[in-house]
Amino acid sequence: GAVVSQHPSWVICKSGTSVKIECRSLDFQATTMFWYRQFPKQSLMLMATSNEGSKATYEQGVEKDKFLINHASLTLSTLTVTSAHPEDSSFYICSAREPGFSTDTQYFGPGTRLTVL
């Protein structure tokens, strides 16, 4: 199946700093990518849908000014957590689907563990 990578796999930062997480589709072009957040022992919660060349669509309750999403190319979407605070510590996972396919099958990245001190 298609491969999606994330970088970094883990990051520790100080409160107030910004952190950028990259999501790449390695062997296919993804017009749409999705960003999820997962707290320990909980499920994945969709944060936003990232569309190449246009603004992301954020889920209710997700601050778009805090979680900046850029999908500048067909193989790369980035999530920037601005002015991170300890409550932003979480596991962030992206997924991507190939153009021409429905949302039926998404390919997930390995996730990024963010710890804010």
Partner 1 sequence: SQQGEEDPQALSIQEGENATMNCSYKTSINNLQWYRQNSGRGLVHLILIRSNEREKHSGRLRVTLDTSKKSSSLLITASRAADTASYFCAIIIQGAQKLVFGQGTRLTINP
Q: Is the distance from CB of 69 to CB of 35 less than 8 angstroms?
A: yes
CA 1 to the chain's CA centroid = 20
Cis amide leading into 110 (omega within 30): no
Q: Which stretch binds partner 1 (CB under 8 A): 11-19, 62-70, 78-86, 95-103?
A: 95-103
Our finding on whether 25 is near partner 1 (CB under 8 A) is: no
Closest CB to partner 1 among residues 18, 105? 105
Helix (H, G, I), strand (E, B) or coil at 113: strand
Residue from 74, 76, 108, 115 that binds partner 1 (CB under 8 A)?
Answer: 108
Q: Give the closest residue to 33 by CA, choosing from 90, 95, 91, 82.
A: 95
Residue from 25, 34, 78, 81 that binds partner 1 (CB under 8 A)?
Answer: 34
Which parts of this chain interact with partner 1 (CB under 8 A)? Answer: 1, 4, 6, 32, 34, 41-46, 49, 91, 93, 95, 102-111, 113
